[in-house]
DNA sequence: TTGTATGCGTTATCAC
DNA sequence: GTGATAACGCATACAA
């Protein structure tokens, strides 16, 4: 593959001049510029980003480690990150942690070795030593969606407390009193926050918090199904099941269907997270939607700031309630 | 950040020795090895993959350019590719073409500059000059899912002809005669093949091929919806709508629902591509499933062979019919 | 078994 | 405006 040297020879100039026109980093005579361009075209020269990175100590690449690539929430997030990065001329390397700390670390390590300029991390449960070291080493880092307590790292995330409150108010208005929640892992900030928000909202609206209506899930479909099964077996089953993420809602849906129950006639269903196919179900699922596009874009911009050495503030966006028809609503307006 | 030099100094050996223990490329005395390890740990040394790549002329990274990251088919494919690559110690950089040739080229160019060892490409419609050049330049390349005629590039893909035939037979057995198809773009190999398979199957089973039952879509949900709308407006609408991919099936589903029609009572629906939530709809959607995991894994292995300089044969796997209940089936068995 | 020295392709410094 | 050249961090040929 052709290198600057080849281009220089063909154009009859020095490699320095070639580099100058390639990066238009300094004044170059029109004639030289033209000859270089011609040589570049003729040779089909492509700059070697590896060599450039070695020299400049910058890869123009950021890493993104997401929780689970099969979760549509993260897919959409990845896409948003990607879009924003592209407009900034950045490449993004995606790592799929599959919700496993050791796999997260695998990617963090790889990304570190690839010398990405910065890292967007949706951290799995624990603070791993590697993550701690990475922070300590000063690599520009921004947490996305989830956060880790006790680490000096800015986070870009959505707050769902108000939306959860609105959901509970909505359900109460519809006449529901027995609302159950299938939570995410308490080890994840998002898991904890949603559970806290739910419990607070119940209290605020004067609804009883029944321990048996709190099922612990892990953000995966199977746990949603299992949780729903236990809830539906209860002597006094809930009127509405609120799933802590879209995958668990899917699991709950399965279980409800498998039991031959009808939504919302026999039991209502609501979900934290909105995904495209929720609107295509019959009935469409009432959900709490996060500003995923914004989350992704803001995260990239925050990281770019950090890479540029500027300090950044945490970003908290608001999730919102999307009233549809899975909880006994008669109209679809919110 | 610590380099081999720092490690060498701390361990009291030369950089050559450090390199040797890092890659265990040659015999090193136990004592030296231990001191190097200790130094590596103490400094938190991380090899610089950029420098290593420059020196070895290999990045241990492959590129994957997919059609559309929001399409669950490609998401699952990406995950499979990722999994297999990881077991081979390869990193994968994903580019999302968004079904746009210019965006595909953007990523191919970036990936080329990053000097990936090989490229997995789900090509968009046309052969772009860049793709042609890339082939000519000899970069290890494998087409995935889709192929491009007239290029000497091995492809890993699924053949759905038998499954489509089985679907038509299945529908005929259920008493359907008027079957419509919403096709993908004729410019894509997958689009063409599915349409051809459908037409052949109709003929083979003695069913009439009505031009008005062939709607041209573009693999996106909107076109599926529009196609379904036109089909349902026909004086004699079809009994079953077969969508050429999962997104168009989604669009068709929307349209059917919006018209207040019932599946399968008023009209049946079948889809090429299977996605997880098809089984969660009511009724679950009869579909043609591709061996996505295998597709991804085989593609990575094929590419690895090409990178190693060995020739590889094209791979064709079989898609299969998944009978569910959206076409008037009474039992769910296939 | 170990160390020295070279070069990978690029950018940047410094002379001219 | 331009060119020689050093240096980035690493792997390796060669010498010891």
A3 Cβ under 8 Å from any chain B Cβ? no
The reply to whether A134 and A187 lie within a common domain is: no
In contact, B38 and B57? CB cutoff 8 Å: no
The reply to whether B178 and B327 lie within a common domain is: yes
Which of chain B's residues have a Cβ under 8 Å away from the Cβ of A51?
Answer: 54
Residue B53 lies in a domain: no
Q: Give the model's pLDDT for residue A331.
A: 56
The reply to whether A38 and A89 lie within a common domain is: no
Q: CB atoms < 10 A from the CB of A25, how many?
A: 9
- CATH number of the domain enclosing B64: 3.40.50.2300
pTM comes to 0.94
pLDDT at A333 over 80: no
Domain limits for position A200: 159-291+321-333
Q: Over its length of 334 residues, how does chain B's per-residue pLDDT go in tens digits?
A: 899 999 999 999 999 999 999 999 889 999 999 999 999 999 999 999 999 999 999 999 999 999 999 999 999 999 999 999 999 999 999 999 999 999 999 999 999 999 999 999 999 988 999 999 999 999 999 999 999 998 999 999 999 999 999 999 999 999 999 999 999 999 999 999 999 999 999 999 999 999 999 999 999 999 999 999 999 999 999 999 999 999 999 999 999 999 999 999 999 999 999 998 899 888 999 999 999 999 999 999 999 999 999 999 999 999 999 999 999 998 544 4
Segment (H or E) for B244? none
Please answer yes or no on whether B59 and A48 come within 8 Å at the CB atom: no
Q: Give the model's pLDDT for residue A332.
A: 41
Tokens of A61: 């690449």
Tokens of B119: 């490229």
Q: Please tell me the total count of domains within chain A.
A: 3
- CA A31 to C1' C15, in angstroms, rounded, equals 23
Please answer yes or no on whether A133 and B44 come within 8 Å at the CB atom: yes
Nucleotide at minimal C1' distance from the A56 CA? C11
In contact, A120 and A81? CB cutoff 8 Å: yes
Which of chain B's residues have a Cβ under 8 Å away from the Cβ of A1?
Answer: 137
pLDDT at A216 over 60: yes
The reply to whether A41 and A139 lie within a common domain is: no
- CATH number of the domain enclosing B27: 1.10.260.40
pLDDT at A325 over 80: yes
Distances (CA, A) of A259 to A172, A250, A254, A277, B329: 25, 14, 9, 22, 20
Residue A53 lies in a domain: no
pLDDT in tens, A120-156: 999 998 899 999 999 999 999 999 999 999 899 999 9
> How far apart are alpha carbons A274 and A170 in whole angstroms?
17
- CA A14 to C1' C16, in angstroms, rounded, equals 14
The reply to whether B30 and B163 lie within a common domain is: no
The reply to whether B146 and B283 lie within a common domain is: no
Strand D contacting residues by CB (7 Å)? A 12-17, 20, 26-29, 31-32, 51, 54-55, 57; B 1, 3-5, 15-16, 19-20, 22-23, 25, 47-48, 51-52, 54-56
pLDDT in tens, B6-37: 999 999 999 999 999 999 988 999 999 999 99
Residue A82 lies in a domain: yes
The reply to whether A258 and A302 lie within a common domain is: no
Q: CB atoms < 10 A from the CB of A250, how many?
A: 27
Q: Which parts of chain B fold into alpha helices (H)?
A: 4-11, 15-22, 30-43, 49-56, 72-87, 101-113, 129-137, 161-173, 189-204, 221-233, 246-258, 292-307
Please answer yes or no on whether A46 and B70 come within 8 Å at the CB atom: no
The reply to whether B34 and B69 lie within a common domain is: no
- CA A225 to C1' C6, in angstroms, rounded, equals 63
The reply to whether B38 and B105 lie within a common domain is: no
Residue B54 lies in a domain: no
pLDDT tier at A270, thresholds 50, 70, 90: very high
Beta bridge partners of B189: none
The reply to whether B297 and B196 lie within a common domain is: no
Residue A52 lies in a domain: no
Q: Give the model's pLDDT for residue A330.
A: 82
Give the residue on B whose Cα is nearest the Cα of A253.
B280
The reply to whether A265 and A175 lie within a common domain is: yes
Residue A266 lies in a domain: yes
Residue B52 lies in a domain: no
CA distance A333 to chain B (A): 16
The reply to whether A129 and A203 lie within a common domain is: no
pLDDT in tens, B79-124: 999 999 999 999 999 999 999 999 999 999 999 999 999 999 999 9
Residue A54 lies in a domain: no
Q: Give the model's pLDDT for residue B331.
A: 56
């Amino acid at each position: 593959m052709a290198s600057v040297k080849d281009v220089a020879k063909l154009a009859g100039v020095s490699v320095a001049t070639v580099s100058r026109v390639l990066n238009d980093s300094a004044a170059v005579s029109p004639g030289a510029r033209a000859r270089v361009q011609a040589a570049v075209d003729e040779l089909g020269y492509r700059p070697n980003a590896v060599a450039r990175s070695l020299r400049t100590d910058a890869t123009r690449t950021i890493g993104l480690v997401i929780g689970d690539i099969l979760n549509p929430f993260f897919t959409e997030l990845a896409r948003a990150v990607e879009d924003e990065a592209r407009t900034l001329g950045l490449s993004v390397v995606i790592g799929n942690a599959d919700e496993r700390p050791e796999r997260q670390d695998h990617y963090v390590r790889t990304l570190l070795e690839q010398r990405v300029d910065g890292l967007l991390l949706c951290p799995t449960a624990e603070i791993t030593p590697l993550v701690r070291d990475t922070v300590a080493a000063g690599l520009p880092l921004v947490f996305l969606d989830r956060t880790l307590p006790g680490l000096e790292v800015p986070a870009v995330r959505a707050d769902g407390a108000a939306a959860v409150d609105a959901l509970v108010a909505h359900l109460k208005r519809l006449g529901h009193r027995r609302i159950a929640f299938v939570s995410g892992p308490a080890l994840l900030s998002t898991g904890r926050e949603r559970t806290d928000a739910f419990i607070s909202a119940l209290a605020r609206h004067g609804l009883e918090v029944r321990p048996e209506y709190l099922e612990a899930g892990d953000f995966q479909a199977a746990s949603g199904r299992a949780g729903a099964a236990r809830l539906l077996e209860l002597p006094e089953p809930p009127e509405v099941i609120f799933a802590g993420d879209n995958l668990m809602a899917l699991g709950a849906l399965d279980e409800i269907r498998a039991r031959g129950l009808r939504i919302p006639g026999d039991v209502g269903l609501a979900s934290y997270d909105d995904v495209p196919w929720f609107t295509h179900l019959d009935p469409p699922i009432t959900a709490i939607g996060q500003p995923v596009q914004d989350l992704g874009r803001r995260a990239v911009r925050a990281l770019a700031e950090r890479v540029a050495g500027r300090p950044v503030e945490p970003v908290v966006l608001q999730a919102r309630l999307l009233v549809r028809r899975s909880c006994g609503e008669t109209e679809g307006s919110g």
